[in-house]
Amino acid sequence: MTIDLHIHSIYSDGSFSPGELVELGSRNGLTALSLTDHDTVEGLPEAIEAGKKYGVEIVSGVELSVEHDGYTMHILGYCFDKENITLNKGLAELQSDRVKRNEAIISILNESGIPIDSVELQSISKTGLTGRPHIGQLLINKGIVRTMDEAFEKYLGRHGKAYVARSVYHPEKAISLIKQANGIAVLAHPFQVAREGASLPSIIRDLVKFGLDGIEFYYPTHSKKKRKLLRGYANTYDLLISGGSDFHGSVRPGTTMARGRKFSVPAKVLVDMKEYFLKNCLK
């Protein structure tokens, strides 16, 4: 048995609907999954209904971008109350900023001679949040670039012609939002932070001070050596172990959900998470 606690849908930057993801997960043998769209929980109701249909347990999830000491990282939230007013207000602020960022990117592209408007962009994203991957797909459709990588390298990435930074929360605020909704806060794909040049031990130590509950241990690119390091951090700070595929569908060709020998997440991860939730979150 395997689970997958890191999956994205069309409500952020994935290519499958929540229902399609649950059906696919069921076919792949998943017993539980968490829809962790960026800055939104709008897809959760559909995922929950599909979970009932296909016999897959759905864990409430979300992924928040944060910045600490000049480094960007992602915090995953789990097991929270998706109706929590404070959490949803915080998510609404992030969503509003995404809209402003998209408008600024479109303006820069227009000034560069690339005719794109918000109506075309909405036809690509269709539902949920609209972000840079949707703009990238529009650039591909118009023949401006050939691939998503080229779209980000030339226009949308940090060093691209149309890059626009967006406001993100400090990790202390993001973790607080999750905890106010009785949730669990987990550092996503830790080695992506280290790849930016940050000191992972220092980052984890600081995040623990802010209330971090766990780290993403099982991840497709985590080697045995990396897992050994993460296990050490988990033991040192008494952190939960989590895991997921970070599946985005066709947005990231060649990737799959957790399944079989290639990549899997033990069901015990969720068992431990539930025990932690009952002990620490329902106070």
Q: What span, in angstroms and rounded, lies between the C-alpha atoms of 218 and 73?
A: 17
Residues 6+ apart with CB under 8 A from 276: 184, 213, 214, 240
Indicate the CATH number for domain 2-91+167-280.
3.20.20.140
Is the per-residue pLDDT at 251 higher than 80? no
Q: Which residues of 161-170 are buried (b: 16+ CB within 10 A; e: fewer)?
A: ebbbeeebbe
pLDDT at 282: 62
- Three-state SS for 35? strand
Per-residue pLDDT tens digits for 255-272: 899 987 789 999 999 999
- Three-state SS for 64? strand
Per-residue pLDDT tens digits for 22-39: 999 999 999 999 999 999
CA angle 119, 120, 121 (to 5 degrees): 90
**194 versus 181: which is more confidently predicted?**
181
Predicted TM-score (pTM) of this structure: 0.88
Residues forming beta bridges with residue 169, ordered by sequence position: 66
Annotated domain spans of the chain: 2-91+167-280, 95-156
Per-residue pLDDT tens digits for 102-137: 888 899 999 888 888 888 877 776 666 777 888 888
Record: fold of 95-156: DNA polymerase; domain 1 (1.10.150)
Is the per-residue pLDDT at 233 higher than 80? yes
pLDDT at 198: 75
What type of residue is 1?
M
pLDDT at 283: 55
